[in-house]
């Protein structure tokens, strides 16, 4: 479909810039990591809004901290 569109409209924009996620303050990130490490939360990704989740996993240190605290047996879906 994209190839066909490009043949008919070669100047059509097929990509758009994606806005960056707002950065999280360190205290908020630490609170989110503590909250998401709760064993009662089965799917951490769906427990908070995507903007918070994305900002949290975008940061290498916070992502590693979160991965270290979450039990992988309960984690069925990260995205």
Q: Over the stretch 2-42, which tens digit does the pLDDT of each residue have?
A: 676 667 776 767 677 888 888 899 999 999 999 999 988 88
Question: CA torsion, points 66, 68, 71, 77, in degrees to nearest 10?
Answer: 50
Q: Global pTM?
A: 0.67
d(CA 28, CA 56): 10
Q: What is the pLDDT of residue 2?
A: 61
Per-residue pLDDT of 37-71, as tens digits, reads 998 888 889 999 999 999 999 999 999 999 888 76
- Across the chain, what does the average pLDDT equal? 82
One-letter-per-residue 3-state SS of 15-59? CCCCCCCCCCCHHHHHHHHHHHCCCCCCCHHHHCCHHHHHHHHHC
d(CA 75, CA 53): 14
């Amino acid at each position: 479909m994209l190839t066909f569109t490009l043949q008919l409209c070669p100047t059509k924009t097929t990509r758009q810039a994606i806005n960056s996620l707002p950065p999280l303050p360190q205290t908020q990130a630490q609170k989110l990591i503590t909250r998401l490490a709760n064993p009662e939360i089965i799917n951490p990704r769906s427990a908070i809004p995507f903007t918070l989740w994305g900002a949290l996993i975008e940061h290498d240190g916070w992502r590693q901290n979160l991965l270290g605290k979450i039990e992988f047996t309960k984690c069925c879906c990260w995205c």
